Structure 1
Amino acid sequence: MVKKLSEIHIRDPYILTVPTDKKYYLYGTEGSTAWSGQPVGFDSYVSEDLIHWDGPYPVFRPNPGFWSDHHYWAPEVYAFGEKYVMFASFKADHVCRGTEALISDHPLGPFRPLGDRPLTPPDWECLDGTLYTDEDGRHWMVFCREWLQVTDGEMYAVPLKPGLDAAEGEPKLLFRASDAPWSKAGEQGQYVTDGPFLHKMASGELIMLWSTGGAKGYTMGIARSTSGKVTGPWSQDPEPLFAEDGGHGMIFRDLNGHLRMTIHSPNVQPLERPVIYELAEENGRLRYVAKN
């Protein structure tokens, strides 16, 4: 079934551009089961123009015995050699939430777990792992440690083994949510870290999109690595990039090479929908200039 973005109820949107197919693949958290209910897995939508989306197509369905039975969140899919790798977060009762790697021969799956457990520490409540490969070819996963466990949400990077099937070292703390001047504490005094995504600017500067609570609801801003390395140190821009109750964004290039960003907005169930903006980069800053 062909749909427009306004008809697709997902959170945490992620778009993979595949030039050889001349197609885009949209993934995300199923909106109706994001917080409650038992998800069936992950789906994808396919487009040739970023306007009309065909689907949903099932890309991940857990086998019997899969350890998680709820909170299937934030799938991201990357080309990895001749394969495709998905990072996604999962939860089970009495088991800490974690990000796991899955692998497939095709963007539409089927994806299967790559390792035997999540890439995040087993005794940490974590979510929203995103893949970054540095200039030396080393793979890292940047992820959030939840405020539920530490109150002031934390952002970490952990090095991964070449096959992405396990961590290869200890997580390194990058920053805390309260470090950003636009981050606002919730009713319980908590600061949220959500949705990291790393991007190299035209100048070579390494930035990170990430989301938290702000003055007008869900808010997304930019952190900058002052060393150019994923391990930082990281500084926070003084003003957010998007402050109107939307976020968990990522950046991609369309088939014509133009820079785009997708987020979900608003951050209110059941109204959240994926939104796509065209971006402009000016003097080391990003600005969204048009909306699909």
Structure 2
Amino acid sequence: MASKSTEFPYSIRDVHISDPYILADEKTGFYYTYVQFVDSKRFPDVKENEPCFYVLKSPDLVNWSVPKVCFKKGDFWADKDYWAPECHIWNDKYYIISSFRAEGKYRGCQCLMADSPEGPFEPVGDEPVTPKGWHCLDGTLFVDDEKNPWMVFCHEWMQVYDGQICAIKLDKSLSKAVSEPEILFRASEAPWRGKAAADGGLVTDGPFLYRMKSGTLIMLWSSFSERGGYTVGYARSASGTIHGPWIQEEIPLYALDGGHAMLFKTFEGKLMMSLHCPNVHERKRILLFEMEETGDKLAIRNEITGNWYNNAGGGAENWHYQSVCTEEFYL
């Protein structure tokens, strides 16, 4: 484990973040994550005066760099809702996929491109790739067996009540859609989804697709359960393709007010899941879990950051320790 230094002074236990997506970049040998805000008290010289994304990097997932601006609005069309940035490698370029909005316009998902994971990123195309007239968020990239790129995204529950997870095929430049949108499933299909949540609309958040060692294609996604608050579940594609049908796992992966999860492998080959918890903005921190696959089942092996110890929510809020966990952790 790397020690703290002036280059990596930011402990994972302190990183304030929503929807943490971690890129393990073999080319540079660093892990990267992207945020839309910074701790201005901790980093007063970093705060940007226009909407932007910041990048942080780490050699070990424990110690992270000072945030650095990797994209800022400039003459870009959107100035609101810079939400859930995630960075994918496609055709040897780095693409941030995120949600954006401007006053009086629907929220949509669009790609930004750079030659480096640290940017600077530039918009791909002039407008979102999600459908016109749809209120969308949380786009992610999926590449099918024919090497065709797809954006999987959420059709916002505020517009359709029963939130949808949808997919749309993209051109090779990731600048425009080349198919009609396809509804893959709705929030109400999850057996763990809380009944009480129906009074305020049924949320779909944070889709992420992963091909298991068994060959099974699964999708992580988030909504709200009865007692746990923000919750991560997953579904399996019965056909093994993006088109499903998608069969929902009955028991969620994590139901203690944490969500918007994704999976990645460390440079040593360990399967990991990241999410933020609790779902209270000022308290959001990264939780990192070691995961295990058994056939077509996915399960948590261990939470390693100590942030569950410090910041559990939902049904665990009254049970977590009031003292701060100071024990170091190792991957």
- Alignment TM class, shorter chain as reference: over 0.9
What is the rounded CA distance, in whole Å, between the counterparts of 2:246 and 2:140 in structure 1?
17
Q: Which of 81, 90, 107 is matched with 2:100 structurally?
A: 90
Equivalent-residue separation in structure 2 for 1:29 and 1:199 (angstroms): 25
Query: In the alignment, which of 212, 217, 223 is matched to residue 201 of structure 1?
Result: 212
Q: In structure 2, which of residues 185, 203, 213 is the aligned counterpart of residue 192 of structure 1? A: 203
Q: Secondary structure at the match of 1:252?
A: strand
- Correspondence for 2:315: none
Pairing 1:163–2:173 present: yes
Which AA in structure 2 matches 1:212?
S
Secondary structure in 1 aligned to 2:20? strand
Deviations along 1:180-222, one digit per CA (max 9) or x if unpaired, are: 0111253743000000000000011000000001121000100
Question: Residues 46-104 of structure 1, C-alpha deviation per residue, up to 9 Å, x if partnerless?
Answer: 1111100012011111113x221111101111112221111000112210000001100
**Matched-pair contact (CA < 8 Å) for 2:38–2:67:** no
Counterparts in 2 of 1:31 and 1:43: CA distance versus 1, 3 Å: closer
The structure with the greater share of residues assigned to strand is 1
What's the C-alpha RMSD, in Å, of the aligned pairs? 1.6
Tell me, yes or no, if the aligned pair for 2:21 and 2:85 is still in contact at 8 Å.
yes
Unmatched tracts of structure 2, length 5 or more:
1-7, 41-48, 306-331
Q: In 1, Cα distance between the equivalents of 2:110 and 2:179?
A: 16
**Alpha-carbon distance in 2 for matches of 1:206, 1:173:** 17
1:235 — aligned with what?
247
C-alpha displacement of 1:39: 6.0
Given the superposition, is the C-alpha separation of residues 91 and 31 from structure 1 closer, same or farther in structure 2, using an over 3 Å criterion?
farther
Residue 44 of structure 1 pairs with residue 44 of structure 2: no
List runs of 5+ in structure 1 lacking aligned partners: none
Corresponding residue number in structure 2 for 1:9: 16
Q: Which moved more, 1:84-93 or 1:22-31?
A: 22-31
Which residue of the other structure, out of 218, 224, 244, is the alignment partner of 1:213? 224
Partner of residue 259, structure 2: 247
Q: Which amino acid aligns with 2:247?
A: S
State how far apart, in whole Å, the 2-side matches of 1:109 and 1:210 are.
28
Determine the structure 2 residue equivalent to 1:136: 146
Tell me if the contact between 1:31 and 1:272 (Cα under 8 Å) persists in the aligned partners. Answer: no
SS in 2 for 1:14: coil
1:124 is matched with 134
The answer to whether 1:57 aligns with 2:68 is yes
Aligned 8 A contact 1:13 1:248 in 2:
yes
Decide whether aligned partners of structure 1 residues 7 and 112 sit closer, same or farther in structure 2, where only a CA change above 3 A counts.
Answer: same
CA distance in 2: counterparts of 1:282 and 1:196, whole angstroms: 21
In 2, the alpha carbon distance for the partners of 1:40 and 1:4 equals: 25
Aligned length: 287
- Specify the code of the residue in structure 2 equivalent to 1:114: V
TM-score by length of 1: 0.94
Give the structure-2-normalised TM-score.
0.84
* Distance across 1 between alignment mates of 2:229 and 2:300: 19
Contact between 2:214 and 2:295, CA under 8 Å: does it hold in 1? no
C-alpha displacement of 1:30: 3.0
- Max radius of gyration: which structure? 2
- Give, in angstroms, the shift of residue 29 of structure 1: 4.2
- Aligned twin of 1:30: 37
Q: Distance in 1 between matches of 2:68 and 2:60?
A: 18
Give the match for residue 87 of structure 2. Answer: 77
CA distance in structure 2 between the aligned counterparts of 1:272 and 1:39, rounded to whole angstroms:
23
TM-superposed deviation, 1:289: 1.6
Structure 1: distance between partners of 2:14 and 2:39: 13
8 Å CA contact retained: 1:13, 1:29: no
